Amino acid sequence: MKSIYILITLTLLLFSFVNSIFCIQLVDSSSNSNSNSNSNSNSNNRIRINNNNYNNIYNRYNINNRYNTNTDPVLGVDVNTTIPKESIQCLNQQNNIDYMVVNCWNEHGFGNPSCPPNIKLAMTNNITLVDLSIKICYHCGEAFFQANALVVFLQTRLPLLNPNFIAWIDMSQPGQWAQNDQQANNNYFTQFVNIINVKGGFPVGIFTTMSAWQEIMGPQYTAGSSYPLYYSQDDGDTSFQDFVPFNGWTTPTMKQYKTQQNICQVNVNFDFQLPSSTIPKLK
């Protein structure tokens, strides 16, 4: 599997060089060697954040002047498959859906082909606030190769992407990670997010639950709280009253509050944010 990622990465790198208009910025091989040399150090101290990526995401909610207070929930959906134009228009016009989280990297370690058309249709049909969902495939190969392949996929396939987006790293499936080796998971996660955030230039957030995060990363791991939190609680409630702080997170940014819903002839999960939702002030 590692050799497949090397081949894919080299192929995409060649393509990105020929098409330099996209201004690809990839992490060089020294990042990999540096990460390997530090693999035994405390990963809580090794997450690096590019503050410039977050400069524009504190005022994301001026959407058609629909929200005049800090208490009205901003409604959204997250999707994994291709959404027809008529369904997107129905979601926005008839159901007040103003943002969408689109899966762009699947659990098999490859780009989701439905990602580019979903983003294009959303942003050309009045859903201009679009975030990305990224599922890490721990067992597919080294973080260096997978993260670089992801960076190339995003930077070459998504030219219409709104700069205010967040790439939400899906950490909700413990079975997709190393079992009984939380330190290995810490190291993999740290290298992966450093590449896509610092070198790729993509703002990062974390999608998870308390139980999933602690099983994958450990009950004492707090470095992830440097990023915004998007959590899942299938209770149908558009509020954060159910939230319990964990692993350094004291305030969430977004909530998945209803799952597996069929509406406008598509299957979606419902999400919400508040205009006043706190995005951590990064250090």
pLDDT recorded at residue 212: 98
pLDDT recorded at residue 274: 79
Mean pLDDT of 150-173: 83
The three-state (H, E, C) secondary structure of 42-87, written as one string: CHHHCCCCCHHHHCCCCCCCCCCCCCCCCCCCEEEEEECCCCCHHH
Please indicate whether residue 257 or residue 67 has the higher confidence score (pLDDT). 257
The model's pTM: 0.79
Q: pLDDT-based confidence at 11, cuts 50/70/90?
A: low
Q: Which CATH architecture has domain 2-16+73-188+195-273?
A: Alpha-Beta Barrel (3.20)
Alpha-carbon span 131 to 228, nearest angstrom: 13
Element (H, E) at 167: strand 167-170
* Pairing relationship of beta strands 74-79 and 266-273 according to DSSP bridges: antiparallel
The mean pLDDT value of the chain amounts to: 78
Sign for the pseudo-dihedral over CA of 162, 76, 257, 180: negative
Beta strands in 65-163 (DSSP E): 74-79, 99-105, 129-135
* Pairing relationship of beta strands 167-170 and 129-135 according to DSSP bridges: parallel
pLDDT tens digits for range 60-98: 444 444 444 456 788 999 999 999 999 999 999 999 998
Average the pLDDT over each of 21-25, 166-170, 172-176, 247-251 and give the range with the smallest value: 21-25
Looking at the chain, the whole-number percentage of residues with pLDDT higher than 90 is 58
Average the pLDDT over each of 17-31, 78-92, 128-142 and give the range with the smallest value: 17-31
Q: pLDDT-based confidence at 275, cuts 50/70/90?
A: confident
pLDDT tens digits for range 52-63: 544 444 444 444
Q: What residue ranges do the domains of the chain occupy?
A: 2-16+73-188+195-273
Average the pLDDT over each of 49-53, 101-105, 261-265 and give the range with the smallest value: 49-53
pLDDT recorded at residue 264: 96
Q: pLDDT-based confidence at 21, cuts 50/70/90?
A: very low
Among 24-38, 193-207, 216-230, 266-280, the range with the most confident prediction by mean pLDDT is 216-230
Q: How far is CA 52 from the centre of its chain?
A: 17
pLDDT recorded at residue 1: 53
